Structure 1
Amino acid sequence: MADTPDRPRSRSSSHVTLDDVARACGVSPITVSRALRGARNVAPELRARVQAAVDQLGYVPNVAARALASARSSHVAVLIPSLTNQLFVELLEAVQDALSPHGFQSLIGVTHYDPAQEEALLRSYLSQRPAGLLLAGFDRSAAARQMLEQSRAPCVYLMENSNEPGVHSVGFSQQDAGRAIVEHLLQGGRRRIAYAAGQLDPRVMMRLEGYREALRAAGCHDPALELLEPGPTSLALGGRQFEDLLARHPDVDAIFYCNDDLAQGGLLAALRTGVPVPQRVAIAGFNDLGGSDQMLPPLTTVRTPRREIGERAAAMLLALMRGETLVQRRVDLGFELMVRQSS
């Protein structure tokens, strides 16, 4: 039986098209397209009617055709260094929550802190003409920077800030945060403060610079107390670093770990070996990851606004994709020092 305008066509006989949805709603195809993209000039009642027709008919947008017609897709490329780090998972959830009501979906790429992997991901995703990009940090290869420039796709950078003209960023100062937590340890009377780090990505090294600034200002910086390991961070690594530092430098009275998983491992090692925290050695972390406030003792750390970063960056990118000119290109969301019993 042939399809008629008032009868939904069988999914087995042919694909439901944008025209079918438009006929069902009594509007033009371009109005349906605008409603599905979340355009602000479409009334909420009409948007709801379009969505009801989409659900009834089982319409699935042809993303490839839309990209060819408009030179942009409904996808946003989001490149992050890791999915094993809780902070990036929270950031991704915030980005998706902000983008999906406007008809955009995330193309998620994991770079594993490898510029070559990021370059390959960018080449693949840019070939799909994404509507925009969200990228973690500013450290990337010259080839990747050239691809981004030539693509002309709107781009917002996450976790760090830049004053460079034309660059849009949402983050906070990693260096200031590192300095602040070390100053807290200094105010508590600690003088032999170690820095224990893994992964050694640019943000970890910025925290290291903040650590150095605070200790140099206090006249007690000792490069021998910097324990920097390139491998991934973990509870096991943090525990081993704790034992190594106390074995090599028995006078260490505080350890600033670059990430909370390392600091949690350090607290577990202290408990296992009978080293009292904070009486013998204070321990501080970074990022305020889940469980840090439940450690024994609860962990002093820096709370970073990763969900807020995801929300604000997505909002900024949506504005750029609409062609708006933003007065504020650089958003600094700051950080919060969480002082608990470990220090």
Structure 2
Amino acid sequence: MASQVPRVKLGSQGLEVSQQGLGCMGMSQFYGPPAPEQDMIDLIHHAVERGVTFLDTADMYGPHTNEMLVGKAIKGIRDKVQIATKFANYIDENGNYSIRGDPEYVREACEGSLKRLGVDCIDLYYQHRVDTKVPIEITVGAMAELVKEGKVKYLGLSEASASEIRRAHAVHPITAVQMEWSLWARDIEEDIVPTCRELGISIVSYSPLGRGFFAGFKAQEAKENDFRSYHVRFTGENLEKNERLRQRVVEIAEKKNCSINQLALAWVHHKGKDVVPIPGTTKRKNLDSNIDSLQVSLTDEEIAELEAAVPQEDIAGDRYNPEHAHNTWRNASTPPLSSWK
């Protein structure tokens, strides 16, 4: 019988989730055309049977269609899963994009997510991106109202800086901060990780496989509507340089007698019991392989070897293309509370 994924505490407020979650974004958008709905429902059911009960979505995935997919998948098994979704990425009727953290939108977005998911309460509700026009205290204050009303159980942030995390946590306890953390995205280790640990906040690692780079994804095989086909790390000279780094990881994985995705995920798992990666996939065999990363044990020497194989300064290209870089935590500065009228 296949091993079950153990449960861990997320944050300090009482939420328990599977030690590895499932990122559902790629089922609906960004990595190519949407996958067949029934296949993805079956995949989610298989994940839950294996003990992967922490499901991650957001209102912007689709937009909206990913939450609807997850909602269909959890019908009849709501008590077995922990649902995390996000708000803040706003697209108006003309297709214009902005980030909103104003109280009116916080409530409007939550009501929409509850309806699409078909649930009475969201387990973990994230601010997906920080609104640089609204003090984070105001946004989190509005999120806290949803907790009081029983519409949300726990609060989270995504792509927030250490100072924003502190300011938010002072208004209402933050359970988890979702950040990109992988072998080729380690810049949060200096400031954000220590801040979260000081405050008792867990870290949910998104793109723990480097957007599939450490799972065998080949940029030249990108499907239509796969944003990786024009991502700075997957194109031109950057890709050539990064491929050399990946080959080093492949060689270490071969020595460990595991796959590259298992090694890369094992590295994230070994970063601490307060770290929960949420790799995404649309294939059952990949899901099972990712779960088996929990069986890969790494020594301190092996972790050091892996990190030396992929030095941060040698990674070619930024995490996001320039048009999206302003939404990352390095630019996540909101106005002071005193400025809010």
TM-score, structure 2 as length reference: 0.28
TM-score, structure 1 as length reference: 0.28
Q: Which has the larger radius of gyration?
A: 1
More RCO (CA 8 Å, sep 6+): 2
